Amino acid sequence: MPKTPLAANLDALDRQLIELLKVNARLPMVNVAKALGCARSTAQLRLKALEDAGVITGYTVGVTTNRSSASIRAMVLISIESKNEHDVVRALSKRHEITKLYSVSGRYDLCAMLLTESTHELDTVLDRIRAVKGVVDTFSTVLLSTKLERPE
């Protein structure tokens, strides 16, 4: 079972190490140590401690998307009746076109990230989202290009 006290007590070196790994988790340990300005063994021990404490939960692979199949990415802000939130989230979770669904603050309650094959399919999905009982309003925007993407 991971220990959590370290998570609350990260120092500047730990935070720097995490930020380096977010940009490139495959950096050789010697390069990590050089970037941090510490010994390789120190960097390695810090990394192990962060993993053991459950601060670092895993590493991921970035995969280039296949650009031969055209895809439309969109962000949809959704205003809902609060009494229907559970049912709306459940209904939206069934849509395979929705890749992420966030709870947000402000005028809108939810933010859905969509991926469709065409604008026609996007339009159909938007109509289906608006038809969900409890959805009051939506605001959509098509994402054109990614300027920066890092693991969270």
Whichever domain contains 13, its CATH number is 1.10.10.10
pLDDT for position 9: 80
Higher-pLDDT residue of 14 and 1 is 14
Residue 92 is encoded by which pair of tokens? 């939206």
What range does the domain containing 33 cover?
Answer: 5-52
Does residue 69 have a pLDDT over 80? Answer: no
Whether the CB-CB separation of 112 and 76 falls below 8 Å is answered with yes
Closest CA to 33 of 49, 47, 22: 47
Same domain, 89 and 37: no
Same domain, 85 and 31: no
Same domain, 79 and 122: yes
Residues of the chain above pLDDT 70, percent: 88
pLDDT for position 68: 45
Tally of domains in the chain: 2
pLDDT for position 8: 61
Same domain, 83 and 133: yes
Same domain, 81 and 132: yes
pLDDT for position 152: 67
CA dihedral 102, 127, 124, 141 (to 10 degrees): -50
User: What stretches of 35-129 adopt beta strand conformation (E)?
Assistant: 72-80, 98-103, 110-116
Q: What is the mean pLDDT of the chain?
A: 88
Does residue 3 have a pLDDT over 50? Answer: no
Same domain, 33 and 77: no
* pLDDT, mean of residues 31-56: 93
Higher-pLDDT residue of 65 and 67 is 65
Which strand (E) or helix (H) includes residue 84? none
pLDDT for position 5: 52
* pLDDT, mean of residues 65-82: 82
Whether the CB-CB separation of 80 and 134 falls below 8 Å is answered with yes
Residue 76 lies in a domain: yes
User: What stretches of 3-152 adopt beta strand conformation (E)?
Assistant: 72-80, 98-103, 110-116, 135-143
